Structure 1
Amino acid sequence: MSRVYLFKPFERLWHWCQAALIIFMLLTGFEVHGTYSVFGFEKAVNYHTIAAWTLVGLWIFAAFWHITTGEWRHYIPTTKNIVVIAKYYSSGIFKDEPHPFRPSLSNKHNPLQRLTYLAVLTLLSPLLWFTGWLYLFYADWAAWGLSKLQLEWIATAHTFGAFLMLTFLISHLYLATTGHKITSQVKAMLTGWEDLAAAEEPMPGKRH
């Protein structure tokens, strides 16, 4: 067993704040959609809007931090060894096989993670932001020459994006339990230190 310090304080803060905001936006967003009632429609709309602008501000700070520190390099997509990683998650993980990827200070995310994060940043997030922005400024559509646009289309696209984000969140939470211990990866995002099992050893305590 070895330890490596992977996640810096701001990185951990950004991760947990972003997670909390996304979960809160899902909660308020589905209430606005009429799925249930917790805060009441008007408060849910206000809370959802405040959380959205807060997340925008957080992303601006996070983008600045990633660019100035060079951490953006960890998100450059690659297909190298992606088949090996996919095979591990589809079958090897259920056989207690060792994880084929060992994170390091120069390479924190495996190829599948990189491609997933790229899809979230370039496809899913823009879908949510663009449709949410249009939804928020619906009263200005006519002045912008968007009178032919249907609110129902925007609402449907935004809701579809929300379900995709919920799917990503659930899968992300599940994969967070697939370290050598159920809590090891969550602990790493709290402390910054990740414990790595030796590559040649089976991972004890694997959750199936």
Structure 2
Amino acid sequence: MNKRIVKIYPFFERFWHWAQVLLILALMVTGMGLNGVHGLIPFGPAVMLHTLAALVLLALWIFATFWLFTTGAWRQFIPKIEGMLSVARFYAYGVFKGEEHPYEKIFWRKHNPLQAATYFVLKWFIFPAIWVTGLLYLTYNFWADGNSIVAITLIANLHLLSAYVIGAFIIVHIYLLTVGHGFRSHVQPMITGYDEIDLTPEQEAYLETNEPNRLKPLQG
């Protein structure tokens, strides 16, 4: 394995990530307002902004899902048991002892096992839960009748629970960006697309021959 600086995050993946950040932030602020946490935005405009941000985010997720499967990038999110315990131990204990991260990012596996498992649960369970409950909530007047109070209460609570899970993920995600090599080194690859990873000689030769623009010299 040789360490090289490689462009592993294409433009769409970076756009998708930062667009999600802005839209989820808008949903969290408006959602908290709708639940009485603050009164920064009047109820009517908060509903409109929350609905608009949700529909734009849903469209982005649909397009991103299409992109993941057509490019084969979905394989990055398939969890593996191997190495998961060592990564979990590092975050729970080793990081406070100054230990090195046990996972080295490689060309075909940019997410460590714990990251992949977390993203898998989010993308296949939590996000669909918030999509379905949100759409049912939004279309309540089209399907509900006088006996639907139990159903709408359940839908509202599941929607709120899914939002709390996503909020907890964001808090933990931001915290983990501060461990290891520091916040900047974690965030910069999602801005520039380039990160330092391990390449096999065959991968390095392929990129140098066919995609040299994806390689940068190591910083001295």
The bucket for the TM-score relative to the shorter chain is 0.7 to 0.9
**Number of matched pairs:** 196
Which residue type is aligned with residue 48 of structure 2?
N
- Quick one: structure 1 residues 36 and 106, their matched pair in 2 at CA, closer, same or farther if it must change by over 3 Å? same
Q: TM-score normalized by structure 1?
A: 0.87
Report what 2:211 is aligned to.
none
Percent identity reads 41
The match for 1:127 is: 129
Q: Which amino acid aligns with 1:7?
A: Y
Report 1:78-157 matches (<5 A): 78-142=80-144, 147=148, 149-157=150-158
- Map 1:1-208 onto structure 2 (within 5 A): 3-142=5-144, 147=148, 149-195=150-196
Deviations 1:54-85 (Å, cap 9, x if unpaired)?
01111122112111211111011111111111
C-alpha separation in 2, matches of 1:76 and 1:36: 39
Larger-gyration structure (1/2): 2
User: Unmatched 5+ residue regions in structure 1?
Assistant: 198-208
1: CA distance, partners of 2:140 / 2:147: 9
Unaligned runs of 5+ in 2: 199-220
Rounded Cα–Cα distance in structure 2 between residues aligned with 1:189 and 1:142: 43
Q: Is the 8 A contact 1:6 1:104 kept in 2?
A: no
Give the distance between the partners of 1:68 and 1:155, measured in 2 at CA.
34
- 2:208 maps to what in 1? none
**Contact 1:131/1:157 (8 A) holds in 2:** yes
Say if 1:100 and 1:41 are closer, same or farther in 2 by CA, change over 3 A.
Answer: same
Query: What secondary structure does 1:159 align onto?
Result: helix
* TM-score, length basis structure 2: 0.82
Q: Which has the higher contact order (CA 8 A, sep 6+)?
A: 2
Distance 1:171 1:43, change over 3 A: same
Instruction: Name whichever structure is richer in helix by fraction.
Output: 2
Deviation of the 1:148 alpha carbon? 6.0
The alpha-carbon deviation at position 87 of structure 1 amounts to 0.9
Distance in 1 (alpha carbons) for counterparts of 2:136 and 2:143 = 8
Give CA deviations for 1:24-75 in whole Å, capped at 9, x if unaligned.
1111111111211122111110111111110111112211211121111101
Contact 1:177/1:184 (8 A) holds in 2 = no
Which secondary structure state, in structure 1, belongs to the residue aligned with residue 183 of structure 2?
coil
CA distance in 1, matches of 2:100, 2:6: 17
For residues 81 and 195 of structure 2, the distance between their equivalents in structure 1, rounded to whole angstroms, comes to: 24
Query: Alpha carbon RMSD of aligned pairs, Å?
Result: 2.0
Aligned residues of 1:5 and 1:105 also touching (Cα < 8 A): no
Q: 1:148 to 1:38 in 2, by over 3 A?
A: closer
